[in-house]
Amino acid sequence: MRTRIKICGLTREDDLLAAADAGADALGMVFYAGSKRCVDVAQAARLRRLAPSFVSVVALFVNPSPDDVQRVLDEVGPDLLQFHGDETPEACERYAHPYLRAFRVGGPTLQTQDDIAQACEQYAGAQGWLFDSYSSGYGGSGLAFDHTLLNGVPATKRRAVVLSGGLKAENVEAAAMHVRPWAVDVSSGVESAPGIKSAGRIQEFVAAVRAADARLTALAG
């Protein structure tokens, strides 16, 4: 049992290297102008070149234009796209590139287990379903949500569940024990300021996830 870890909202070279050194499986960059963690294509391309082998790079978008996504694909070369806005299944799949579909739990159309299960079924082509808390800022808010709402996620896709929303070293162990996601995603929970990661907090977060893995392995044994 090993929960994968994504560190999102990276803007600086030192932070990317700190995340990789700590054992992150995926590194996320935000291409949404409304975010304090937004990077431009040139900046992202520089960061992308620093990503070690076998560590995935994820490009996050919120209701982007097709031209903007294609430019990032061409010039940055992310391994995975993440759609965090109101994109339709067709909009996510038009690039023929692996993608995550994010759901902002607690929003107007995602308030019950049935709401979430039905939304997941619409995006059956996604590599994973990422569950974040609802906020006006499309992620990075530090807010959590009621994890019992994920109990209705179709069991055949459990390995594709990515848990986000208000995670930090102090609560990720309990969250991972409850949800048992394929991966966890953190941004503000490992920061000293918006867009500025703390190497120490990243290490503490990774250690807490590994503690959850150890407990889950012991329970399974």
Helices (H), ranges, the chain: 13-22, 41-50, 66-75, 89-93, 113-122, 172-179, 199-220
Per domain, the residue ranges of the chain are 2-217
**92 a catalytic residue:** no
Q: What is the pLDDT at residue 144?
A: 84
Cβ-Cβ contacts under 8 Å for 23 (sequence gap 6 or more): 5, 206
| pLDDT tens-digit map of 63-108 | 999 999 999 999 999 999 999 999 999 999 999 999 999 999 988 8
What's the pLDDT band for 218 if we cut at 50, 70, 90?
very high
Q: What is the pLDDT at residue 160?
A: 85
Domain boundaries 2-217, corresponding CATH code? 3.20.20.70
Distances (CA, A) of 217 to 104, 139, 170, 180, 209: 30, 31, 20, 11, 12
| Residue range 173-182: mean pLDDT, rounded | 94
| pLDDT tens-digit map of 114-163 | 999 999 999 999 999 999 998 766 665 667 889 999 988 876 555 589 99
The answer to whether 127 and 100 have CB atoms below 8 angstroms apart is yes
Q: What is the pLDDT at residue 139?
A: 60
What's the pLDDT band for 10 if we cut at 50, 70, 90?
very high
**Half-sphere exposure for 116 (CA within 13 Å, toward CB):** 28
**67 a catalytic residue:** no
Catalytic position from the list 38, 92, 120, 132 = 132
The residues pairing with 104 across neighbouring beta strands, listed in sequence order, are 132
* CA nearest to 75, candidates 98, 33, 99, 46: 46
Catalytic position from the list 8, 38, 92, 120 = 8
| Percent of all residues in the chain with a pLDDT value above 70, rounded to a whole number | 95
